[in-house]
């Protein structure tokens, strides 16, 4: 297992009334993404625990693009990954944010 | 004076040696080894019918079990090496030279024996090339073929899996060769005659029915949301754009996803009757919902598919069927149809390089080609026009001082990463290394970059027809290569420029909302749904059931 | 129509209960995950593969648990088991109309076998205690991984089982039987054989499943509503009668080699046609003929 942490600055705060949201399943080629509001001084913090070692550069690129799409602040995103491809990771991240902003949990 | 009849006299001598074994044309299963010893001579060129699906497995076993002291150095010519026996004949010293097309299941053993100098490969072909050479310089002396049934006159009924049998028998029988057929049963009257008895010398009823592999069944349950998204892009960004009406699909979940969203997504775009009416295609079960929805007008097939028999029989307006009601396939005809009469080929691959060359070669496996290169190549001899062909030709030739000509749409459809995070885009194909280690003349390229018109990934579509320089082409490919090292190495400004010019199109550029890409779009989400869609006519093999 | 088979555990709960009424206990944000898996360098899930909580079904208060087959085949580890036991014990205090178990599990999680085994035995005890307190426990089984091992036993300890044809219920899974007894005894790749042996239709015909529904979340919901008024009967007479029924079943079908033989013996006209029938047609075809 490998633990990766990435932080992003410069996002816009989201309404604090939202509760946490989770999407995905911890199964082969898949991942779960938990999105929680938290006072992080305006940062968006992404913490990943992955079964596939050595893909830090790809995670970084995927998350940079994700953050460019969604510019969120004060958000903690926690991921348990079992070797999902970047396409699946991007999809789950978008679904998680949509679920979070939609208020469903 | 030259003897002009050596082949026919050789044939007569061989038949004479076998005459005591046969009752009419019938040979007992126990006498097959003796028959082969009688008609074969060392160094003979032998075609053992190994198709994609049906296999002359009983004859293959008998051939592999021959005494190499008596029969050796055979030159095997066959389209597919599917069974262990196809390699055993070399391992045991019965055969030494091989010309073939595809060896998927035996690719590893083949590579080992080639490395150990136990097999000398003449060449690795596409199907049409190999069939062509059967009539030029690789004509078999003896053909060992496979059919569903025979009558006592030697007429053969192939059933729906006609596949390669006609081309093999024609090449052999009309050049004084000897044709031996294994059949599942010998009957008084055949449902129909696929091979005239006059072209067949011996028939043997095999102890067990011949092996057939269901190769084209893809369980819709395994299709992912990403594949649905890519299928949406294929339909909206390519099929609708060019008006693709005649086409071939490669095998795989990517193309099955396209077939399964025709009645839903393509229907919602108003494309019924405008795209995908005529197919050169194996009878994919995944096409059933589109057929039932009225999208499809005709399907001609290379071979059949287990479980589809009753469905095909009940849809004679769609499939090519005989007077008996069962399908007649024909690999040679369908390959020709796919090459010349289709406007589009779409298929998947393992690796694509920066020039768009694609390959399924991996180290330690000599897998060969099969039919994809014939489907996935511009038909340079084509002369008839169609809107899709003309539009592709216009795009490729715009701004250049060239006489008008069309071009085939050849689409490579891949997710940027395969399982276990293997990138589909690479700087250098593994095919180069395989060519060096296996001493091949050329790296085994499945589809040449110069023939590829579009590359479709989950990130978007790269239209290579519109690229004007090698550099543009490379950046267009990098621009859809996602987070692979090739994709991360893109020139971002140039990729954005290509996007502005419509050479790269993202889902949002096509008006596709990724959130719509769910499995709910699939007209069937399980094999059972396919059975339902067929009105209970499709009878899938047991391994695909969960009921 | 929403496929129950394809839905995740969370989606199943959302589709099963009255909209917006589900409240999760120990949600993922609490991070009550397996302490063992990470030590074994294996990915863990924030909810340990089981969602427990309360909600309304047809306006009536229920407690519910859903196992996620996509995470380790829904296998029962220490936390997973404890969450389920806790839910069952809570039901003894709260007295909901029923407890719904949306099972999907291969049984005990091998990575934490001892804790998982203890967990399963505690679940069994808790189910029986709850039933004796008069709260019915209803099992829904229609997921991709079926219900096997210890969870197979748990399911049969409950008051009622709702299955779809795609659902499977058994003790040893098909692969385990093949590995132990040989492919001649049971070919786990013969999926038609697997489903007619452990699938929903056979379990319904044997009387082990109480309802057989289409693979549709709405059908599962309706079946669960219909079973809400099931009253647990753990009296000695009821148990004796059940044992007699099971003994009689063994006597009647013990010599059968295949489920098809049993279906024939039940007097079903064209048993080979049963697997193809949709749920409604199937129930009609076997009405009055179940063991």
Q: How many residues does chain C have?
A: 291
Give the DSSP H/E element, type plus range, for residue A72.
strand A72-73
Residue B446 burial (C-beta neighbours within 10 Å; 0-12, 13-18, 19+): buried
| Partner-chain contact C276 B543, CB within 8 Å | no
| B516 part of contact set with chain A, CB < 8 Å | no
Q: Give B536's contacts in chain C (Cβ within 8 Å).
A: 276
The span from the CA of B199 to the CA of B216, in Å, is 31
What angle do the packed helices B32-39 and B6-18 form, to 10 degrees? 150
What chain B residue is nearest to A83 in terms of C-alpha separation?
A: B420
| Partner-chain contact A85 B514, CB within 8 Å | no
pLDDT one-digit tens code per residue, B147-166: 999 999 999 999 999 999 99
Side by side, the strands of the sheet bearing A44-50 are A2-8, A44-50, A75-81, A31-37, A21-24
SS (H, E, C) chain C: CCCCCCCCHHHHHHHHCCCCCCEEECCHHHCCCCCCCHHHCCCCCCCCCEEEEEEEECCEEEEEEEECCCCHHHCECHHHHHHHHHHHHHHHHHCCCEEEEEECECCECHHHHHHHHHHHHHHHHHHHHHHHCCCCEEEEECCCCCECCHHHHHHHHCCEEEEECCCEECCCCHHHHHHHHCCCCCCCCCHHHHHHHHEHHHHHHCCCCCEEECCCHHHHHHHHHHCCCCCCCCCHHHHHHHHHHHHHHHHHHCCCCCHHHHHHHCCCCCHHHHHHCCHHHHHHHHCCCCC
pLDDT reported for residue B213: 87
When scoring C144, C188, C276 by the number of chain B Cβ atoms within 10 A, the one with the most, hence best to mutate, is: C276
Residues 6+ apart with CB under 8 A from C240: none
pLDDT one-digit tens code per residue, B438-476: 888 999 999 999 999 999 999 999 999 999 999 999 999
User: Is position A74 within any domain?
Assistant: yes
Nearest to C166 among B542, B543, B546 (CB): B546
pLDDT above 60: residue C73: yes
Averaged pLDDT for residues B163-186:
98
The span from the CA of C194 to the CA of B542, in Å, is 10
Question: Would you say B406 and B473 are in contact if contact means Cβ atoms under 8 Å apart?
Answer: no
Handedness of CA B396, B398, B402, B403 (dihedral sign): positive
Subunits with at least 3 CB pairs below 8 A relative to chain C? A, B
Residue B80's DSSP bridge partners are B102
Cα angle C112, C117, C120; round to 5: 120
* Rg of the Cα atoms in chain A: 13
| C48 part of contact set with chain A, CB < 8 Å | no
Nearest to C276 among B525, B536, B546 (CB): B536
pLDDT one-digit tens code per residue, B377-407: 999 999 999 999 999 999 999 999 999 999 9
Q: Which residue has the tokens 């709850």?
A: C130
pLDDT one-digit tens code per residue, C10-47: 999 999 999 999 999 999 999 999 999 999 999 999 99
When scoring A50, A60, A86, A94 by the number of chain B Cβ atoms within 10 A, the one with the most, hence best to mutate, is: A86
**Min Cα–Cα distance to chain A from C46, Å:** 8
pLDDT reported for residue A105: 42
Q: Give A85's contacts in chain B (Cβ within 8 Å).
A: 226, 415-417, 421
Nearest to B421 among A55, A57, A61 (CB): A55
The span from the CA of B454 to the CA of B466, in Å, is 10
| Partner-chain contact C41 A32, CB within 8 Å | no
| Closest by CA position to B357, among listed B452, B480, B226 | B452
| Partner-chain contact A86 B416, CB within 8 Å | yes
Q: Give B482's contacts in chain A (Cβ within 8 Å).
A: 86-87
Residues 6+ apart with CB under 8 A from C230: C98, C136, C138, C159, C160
Residues belonging to chain A with any Cβ–Cβ distance to chain C shorter than 8 Å: 1, 20, 22, 25-27, 30, 32, 34, 36, 49-51, 78, 80-82, 105
β-pairing, B202-205 vs B156-157, is unpaired
Averaged pLDDT for residues A19-37:
95
Q: Which residue has the tokens 């059967």?
A: B134
User: Is position A24 within any domain?
Assistant: yes
pLDDT reported for residue C146: 97
pLDDT above 70: residue A16: no
Q: How many residues does chain A have?
A: 105
| Partner-chain contact C276 B547, CB within 8 Å | yes
Residue B428 burial (C-beta neighbours within 10 Å; 0-12, 13-18, 19+): exposed
Question: Would you say A67 and A45 are in contact if contact means Cβ atoms under 8 Å apart?
Answer: no
pLDDT one-digit tens code per residue, B207-240: 999 989 889 999 999 999 999 999 999 999 999 9
What chain C residue is nearest to A24 in terms of C-alpha separation?
A: C8
Quick one: pLDDT band at residue A44, thresholds 50, 70, 90? very high
Residues 393-432 in B contacting A (C-alpha not used; CB under 8 Å): 415-417, 419-421
The span from the CA of A64 to the CA of A62, in Å, is 6
Give the residue numbers spanning the domain of A96: 2-100
Q: Model-level pTM?
A: 0.95
User: What token pair was written down for B67?
Assistant: 């005494």
The span from the CA of B163 to the CA of B51, in Å, is 7
User: What token pair was written down for B533?
Assistant: 């869609």
What's the total number of domains in chain C?
A: 1
Residues 6+ apart with CB under 8 A from B165: B49, B145, B146, B147, B156, B158, B194, B195
Question: Would you say B269 and B236 are in contact if contact means Cβ atoms under 8 Å apart?
Answer: yes
Averaged pLDDT for residues C80-92:
98
pLDDT reported for residue A103: 55
Averaged pLDDT for residues C238-245:
94
User: Is position C194 within any domain?
Assistant: no
Does the complex come out with an ipTM higher than 0.90?
A: yes
Q: How many residues does chain B have?
A: 547
Subunits with at least 3 CB pairs below 8 A relative to chain A? B, C
What chain C residue is nearest to B224 in terms of C-alpha separation?
A: C6
pLDDT one-digit tens code per residue, B17-37: 999 999 999 999 999 999 999
The span from the CA of B366 to the CA of B114, in Å, is 9
Portion of chain B with pLDDT greater than 90, in percent: 92
**b/e per residue, B92-121, with b = 16+ CB within 10 A?**
bbbbbbbbbbbbebbbebbbbbbeeeebeb
Nearest to A86 among B420, B482, B514 (CB): B482
When scoring C22, C34, C39, C43 by the number of chain A Cβ atoms within 10 A, the one with the most, hence best to mutate, is: C43
pLDDT reported for residue B385: 97
SS (H, E, C) B227-276: HHHHHHHHHHHHHHHHCCCEEEECCCHHHHHHHHHHHHHHHHCCCCCCCC
User: What token pair was written down for B12?
Assistant: 């007569």
The span from the CA of B184 to the CA of B370, in Å, is 26
pLDDT reported for residue C207: 94
H helix intervals, B44-194 = 57-64, 84-91, 107-115, 127-134, 165-173
pLDDT above 90: residue B52: no
When scoring A26, A29, A47, A103 by the number of chain C Cβ atoms within 10 A, the one with the most, hence best to mutate, is: A26
User: Is position C64 within any domain?
Assistant: yes
Residues 8-37 in C contacting A (C-alpha not used; CB under 8 Å): 8, 10, 27-29
Other CB atoms within 10 Å distance of the CB of residue B537: 17
- Give residue B167's Cα distance to chain centre: 16
User: Is position C273 within any domain?
Assistant: no
| Partner-chain contact C43 A1, CB within 8 Å | yes
pLDDT one-digit tens code per residue, B289-309: 999 999 999 999 999 999 999
- Give residue C27's Cα distance to chain centre: 22
DSSP-derived 3-state class of residue B395 = helix
Residues 6+ apart with CB under 8 A from A35: A20, A21, A22, A75, A76, A77, A96, A97, A99, A100
* DSSP letters spanning B118-141: S-EEEEE-BHHHHHHHHTTT---S
User: Is position C248 within any domain?
Assistant: no
Residue C213's DSSP bridge partners are C164
| Closest by CA position to C42, among listed A105, A81, B484, B361 | A81
What's the total number of domains in chain A?
A: 1
| Partner-chain contact A26 C45, CB within 8 Å | yes
Quick one: pLDDT band at residue B190, thresholds 50, 70, 90? very high
**Min Cα–Cα distance to chain A from C55, Å:** 14
Residues 6+ apart with CB under 8 A from C185: C177, C178
When scoring C141, C173, C192, C196 by the number of chain B Cβ atoms within 10 A, the one with the most, hence best to mutate, is: C192
Give the residue numbers spanning the domain of C68: 9-169+209-231
Nearest to A62 among B419, B483, B514 (CB): B483
pLDDT one-digit tens code per residue, C247-281: 999 999 999 999 999 999 999 989 999 998 999 99
User: What token pair was written down for A44?
Assistant: 């968006």
User: Is position A69 within any domain?
Assistant: yes
User: Is position A19 within any domain?
Assistant: yes
Instruction: Check which CATH number belongs to the domain holding A36 and give it.
Output: 3.30.230
pLDDT one-digit tens code per residue, B80-113: 999 999 999 999 999 999 999 999 889 999 999 9
Quick one: pLDDT band at residue B277, thresholds 50, 70, 90? very high
Nearest to B483 among A52, A58, A91 (CB): A58
Question: Would you say B46 and B40 are in contact if contact means Cβ atoms under 8 Å apart?
Answer: yes
Cα angle B493, B412, B212; round to 5: 160
pLDDT above 70: residue B483: yes
pLDDT above 60: residue B196: yes
User: Is position C42 within any domain?
Assistant: yes
Averaged pLDDT for residues B310-316:
98
User: Is position A105 within any domain?
Assistant: no
**Min Cα–Cα distance to chain C from A12, Å:** 23
pLDDT reported for residue A104: 45
Cα angle A29, A30, A36; round to 5: 155
pLDDT reported for residue B398: 94
**Per-chain mean pLDDT for chain A:** 92
What angle do the packed helices C191-198 and C174-181 form, to 10 degrees? 110
| Closest by CA position to C209, among listed C178, C266, C168 | C168
When scoring B415, B416, B417 by the number of chain A Cβ atoms within 10 A, the one with the most, hence best to mutate, is: B417
**Min Cα–Cα distance to chain B from A6, Å:** 17
**Per-chain mean pLDDT for chain B:** 96
Q: Give A88's contacts in chain B (Cβ within 8 Å).
A: 224, 226
Rounded to a whole number, what is the largest CA-CA distance in chain C? 56
What chain A residue is nearest to B224 in terms of C-alpha separation?
A: A88
Q: Which residue has the tokens 């205690």?
A: C129
User: Is position A75 within any domain?
Assistant: yes
Other CB atoms within 10 Å distance of the CB of residue B516: 14
Quick one: pLDDT band at residue A17, thresholds 50, 70, 90? low
Instruction: Check which CATH number belongs to the domain holding C71 and give it.
Output: 3.90.226.10
User: What token pair was written down for B197?
Assistant: 């008895």
Give B180's DSSP letter. Answer: E
């Amino acid at each position: 297992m490998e633990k990766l942490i990435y932080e992003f600055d410069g996002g816009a705060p989201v309404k604090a009334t939202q509760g946490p949201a989770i999407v995905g399943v911890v199964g082969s080629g898949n991942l779960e993404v938990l999105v929680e509001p938290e006072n992080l001084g305006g940062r968006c913090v992404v913490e990943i625990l992955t079964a596939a070692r050595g893909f830090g550069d790809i995670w970084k690129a995927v998350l940079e693009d994700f953050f460019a799409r969604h510019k969120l602040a004060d958000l903690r995103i926690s991921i348990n990954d079992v070797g999902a491809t970047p396409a699946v990771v991007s999809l789950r991240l978008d679904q998680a944010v949509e679920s979070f902003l939609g208020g469903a949990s | 004076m030259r003897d002009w009849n050596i082949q026919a006299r050789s044939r007569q001598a061989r038949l004479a040696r076998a005459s005591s074994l046969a009752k009419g044309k019938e040979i007992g299963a126990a006498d097959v080894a003796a028959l082969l010893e009688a008609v074969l001579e060392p160094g003979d060129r032998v075609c053992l019918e190994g198709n994609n699906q049906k296999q002359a497995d009983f004859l293959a076993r008998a051939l592999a079990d021959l005494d190499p002291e008596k029969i050796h150095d055979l030159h095997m010519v066959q389209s597919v090496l599917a069974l262990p026996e196809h390699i055993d004949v070399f391992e045991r010293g019965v055969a030494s030279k091989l010309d073939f097309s595809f060896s998927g299941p035996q690719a590893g053993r083949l590579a080992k024996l080639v490395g150990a100098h136990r097999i000398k490969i003449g060449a690795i072909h596409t199907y049409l090339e190999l069939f062509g050479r059967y009539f030029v310089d690789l004509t078999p002396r003896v053909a060992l073929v496979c059919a569903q049934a025979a009558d006592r006159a030697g007429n053969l009924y192939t059933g729906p899996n006609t596949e390669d049998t006609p081309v093999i028998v024609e090449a052999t029988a009309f050049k004084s060769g000897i044709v031996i057929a294994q059949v599942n049963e010998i009957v008084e009257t055949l449902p129909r005659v696929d091979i005239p008895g006059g072209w067949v010398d011996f028939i043997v009823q095999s102890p067990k029915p011949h092996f057939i592999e269901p190769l084209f069944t893809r369980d819709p349950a395994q299709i992912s949301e990403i594949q649905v998204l890519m299928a949406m892009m294929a339909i909206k960004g390519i099929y609708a754009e060019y008006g693709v009406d005649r086409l071939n699909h490669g095998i795989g979940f990517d193309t099955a996803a396209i077939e399964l969203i025709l009645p839903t997504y393509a229907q919602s775009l108003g494309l019924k009757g405008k795209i995908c009416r005529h197919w050169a295609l194996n009878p994919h079960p995944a096409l059933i919902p589109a057929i039932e929805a009225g999208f499809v007008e005709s399907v001609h097939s290379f071979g059949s598919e287990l479980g589809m028999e009753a469905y095909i029989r009940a849809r004679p307006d769609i499939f090519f069927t005989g007077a008996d009601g069962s399908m007649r396939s024909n690999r040679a005809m369908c390959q020709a149809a796919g090459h010349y009469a289709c406007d589009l080929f779409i298929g998947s691959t393992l690796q694509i390089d920066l020039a768009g060359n694609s390959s399924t070669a991996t180290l330690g496996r000599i897998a060969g080609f099969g039919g994809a290169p014939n489907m996935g190549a511009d038909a340079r001899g084509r002369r008839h026009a169609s809107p899709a062909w003309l539009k592709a030709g216009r795009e490729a030739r715009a701004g250049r001082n060239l006489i008008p000509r069309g071009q085939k749409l050849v689409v490579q459809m891949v997710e940027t990463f395969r399982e276990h995070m293997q990138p589909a885009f690479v700087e250098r194909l593994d095919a180069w290394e395989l060519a060096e280690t296996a001493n091949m003349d050329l790296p085994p390229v499945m589809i040449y970059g110069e023939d590829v018109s579009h590359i479709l990934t989950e990130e978007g579509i790269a239209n290579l027809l519109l690229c004007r320089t090698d550099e543009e082409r490379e950046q267009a490919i990098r621009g859809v290569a996602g987070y692979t090292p090739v994709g991360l190495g893109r020139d971002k400004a140039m990729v954005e420029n290509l996007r502005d010019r419509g050479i790269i199109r993202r889902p949002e550029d096509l008006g596709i909302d990724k959130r719509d890409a769910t499995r709910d779009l699939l007209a069937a989400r399980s094999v059972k749904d396919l059975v339902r869609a067929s009105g209970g006519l499709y009878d899938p093999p047991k391994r695909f059931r969960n009921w | 129509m929403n496929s129950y088979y394809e839905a995740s555990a969370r989606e199943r709960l959302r589709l099963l209960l009255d909209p917006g009424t589900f409240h999760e206990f120990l949600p993922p944000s609490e991070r009550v995950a397996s302490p063992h898996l990470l030590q074994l360098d294996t990915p863990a899930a924030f909810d340990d593969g089981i969602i427990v909580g309360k909600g309304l079904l047809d306006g009536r208060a229920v407690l519910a648990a859903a196992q996620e087959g996509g995470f380790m085949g829904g296998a029962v580890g220490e936390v997973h088991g404890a969450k389920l036991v806790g839910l069952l014990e809570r039901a003894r205090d709260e007295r909901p109309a029923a407890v719904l178990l949306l099972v999907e599990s291969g049984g005990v999680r091998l990575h934490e076998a001892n804790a998982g085994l203890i967990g399963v035995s505690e679940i069994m005890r808790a189910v029986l205690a709850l039933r004796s307190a008069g709260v019915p426990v209803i099992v829904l089984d229609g997921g991709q991984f079926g219900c096997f091992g210890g969870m197979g036993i748990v399911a049969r300890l409950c008051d009622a089982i709702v299955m779809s044809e795609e659902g499977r219920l058994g003790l040893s899974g098909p692969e385990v039987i093949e590995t132990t007894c040989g492919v001649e005894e049971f070919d786990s790749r013969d999926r038609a054989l697997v489903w007619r042996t452990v699938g929903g239709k056979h379990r319904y015909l044997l009387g082990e499943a109480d309802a057989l529904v289409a693979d549709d979340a709405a059908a599962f919901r309706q079946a669960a509503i219909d079973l809400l008024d099931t009253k647990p009967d753990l009296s000695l007479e009821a148990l004796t009668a059940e044992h007699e029924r099971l003994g009689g079943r063994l006597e009647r079908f013990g010599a059968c080699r295949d489920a098809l033989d049993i279906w024939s013996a039940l007097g079903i006209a064209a048993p080979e046609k049963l697997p193809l029938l949709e749920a409604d047609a199937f129930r009609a075809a076997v009405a009055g003929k179940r063991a």
